[in-house]
Chains A and B, each alone.
Chain A
Amino acid sequence: MTIFTIFISAAIINNYVLVQFLGICPFVGVSKKLSSSFSMGLATTFVMTMAAAVTWLIYYFILVPFNLQFLQIVSFILVIASLVQLVEMFIKKMSKPLYDALGIFLPLITTNCAIMGVALFLVMKEYSFIESIIFGFSAGVGFTLAIVLMAGIREELEIADVPEYFKGAPITMIVAGCMALAFMGFAGLI
């Protein structure tokens, strides 16, 4: 698989949010405003790329040589949790408004299944180190793409006449369904 096909397949065809259903919680929770959803996308992309690299190293240099594959889930989630902690401290120092905007959702990146998903898939698909990094990055780009598109639509929905009981999460889900339908058109691109 070339780098380009990995990118297209992880970012668009098998879009993490719309096709694989990973990272839905932040996708629904943080997609109200364009600006904060973009930052969320960037934070996730960053953590994902890092997580892909680190989990690959852990898997092939610690777990496989010592035959400890059964510790895969525990070790991956710990690595991801500490990475998120680092990113959180970093953002807190660098930009207070950004930190306030992302609020409680930063710790939730830990439980963002998309990141754990990247870690598990790169092992399942037997990617090389470079491929894994590209894969993590592309999955993050795909996540950013989906969440930013959704935020754009939701800002419009604010002024639209949505039935009362469908405001918020329900209409978001239905819009996501339409987006997923559109993204299915990319299937077969490769």
Chain B
Amino acid sequence: MKSAKLIIVLTLTAIISGAILSVLAGITQPIIDEYQTDVLKTAVGDVLPNINSYDIKIIENTKFFVGKDRNNKPINVAFEAVGDGFQSKLKILVGMNLDMTKILSIKILSQLETPGLGTKIETDPGNKEDDAWFGKQFINLNTSSSLTYLKNEKPDKSKGQIMAITGATISSKAVIDIINATMAINRPLFTKEVN
């Protein structure tokens, strides 16, 4: 009798909690999904300049966002690059030209790096002129060779060089490594499919 009561109380609690949560999930999930689609849409627009619309093309389980101009002609392409940063997973959207020899722009979609240091890959409040300077270095960056990073030297865009963030070398390096690795996989995949 006693144990029956225990089981009843626990089961009831679990059922009530499950019911409340499923109602809640029903309400919030669409909002969350919609927000995330919105974020991705904006991000694709940010990394692919001069596009009118974009198509999602899936090649061997990899998603490519193909940007198109006013005449529906493909002009550039974006993809997500995911990998490990210093203490969190980094998700980066990379926009490139069609033969993937040049990065047009990148955007960090998600990161939970060390506040005040690693987070500078996204925004650097310490830099008063431009708090997104790190990401902007990738604009029009030549990728015919792998990207590399430098410290205390002026980087050369035509050689694919990036200035690392002081105090956050690992996060800076992670961004570069993740882009390099994903590019190496995606370039043959995409160029083969398109041409």
12 interchain pairs, CB-CB under 8 A: A14-B87, A20-B87, A70-B21, A70-B22, A70-B24, A71-B18, A74-B18, A124-B89, A125-B89, A187-B170, A188-B169, A188-B170
Q: Contact mask A58-85 → B, CB, 8 Å, 1/0?
A: 0000000000001100100000000000
A1 CA / B84 CA spacing, docked (Å): 9
Residues of A within 8 A of B21 (CB): 70-71, 74
Instruction: With a 10 A CB-CB cut-off, give which of B17, B24, B170 has the most chain A CB atoms.
Output: B170
A187, B84: Cβ atoms closer than 8 Å: no
Q: Across the two chains, which residue of chain A brings its CB closest to B86?
A: A187
Q: Contact mask A5-21 → B, CB, 8 Å, 1/0?
A: 00000000010000110
Interface residues of chain A, those whose CB is within 8 Å of chain B, are 1, 14, 19-20, 70-71, 74, 124-125, 187-188
Residues of A within 8 A of B71 (CB): none
Q: Is the C-beta of B29 less than 8 angstroms from some C-beta in chain A? A: yes
**Chain A min CB distance to B91 (Å):** 12
Residues of A within 8 A of B84 (CB): 1
Say whether chain B's binding surface is mostly helix, strand, loop, or mixed: helix
Chain B interface: which size bin? 10 to 19
Q: Across the two chains, which residue of chain A brings its CB closest to B84?
A: A1
8 Å CB contacts to A: which residues of B109-162?
none
A70 CA / B18 CA spacing, docked (Å): 9
Q: Across the two chains, which residue of chain B brings its CB closest to A72?
A: B21
A188 CA / B177 CA spacing, docked (Å): 13
Q: Is the C-beta of B25 less than 8 angstroms from some C-beta in chain A? A: yes
B170, A70: Cβ atoms closer than 8 Å: no
A125 CA / B24 CA spacing, docked (Å): 25
B169, A19: Cβ atoms closer than 8 Å: no
Q: Contact mask B153-190 → A, CB, 8 Å, 1/0?
A: 00000000000000001100000000000000000000
8 Å CB contacts to A: which residues of B58-79?
none
A70, B25: Cβ atoms closer than 8 Å: yes
Q: Across the two chains, which residue of chain B brings its CB closest to A14?
A: B87
A174 CA / B50 CA spacing, docked (Å): 54
Residues of A within 8 A of B17 (CB): 74
A74 CA / B87 CA spacing, docked (Å): 26
**Chain B min CB distance to A29 (Å):** 25
Q: Across the two chains, which residue of chain A brings its CB closest to B112?
A: A124
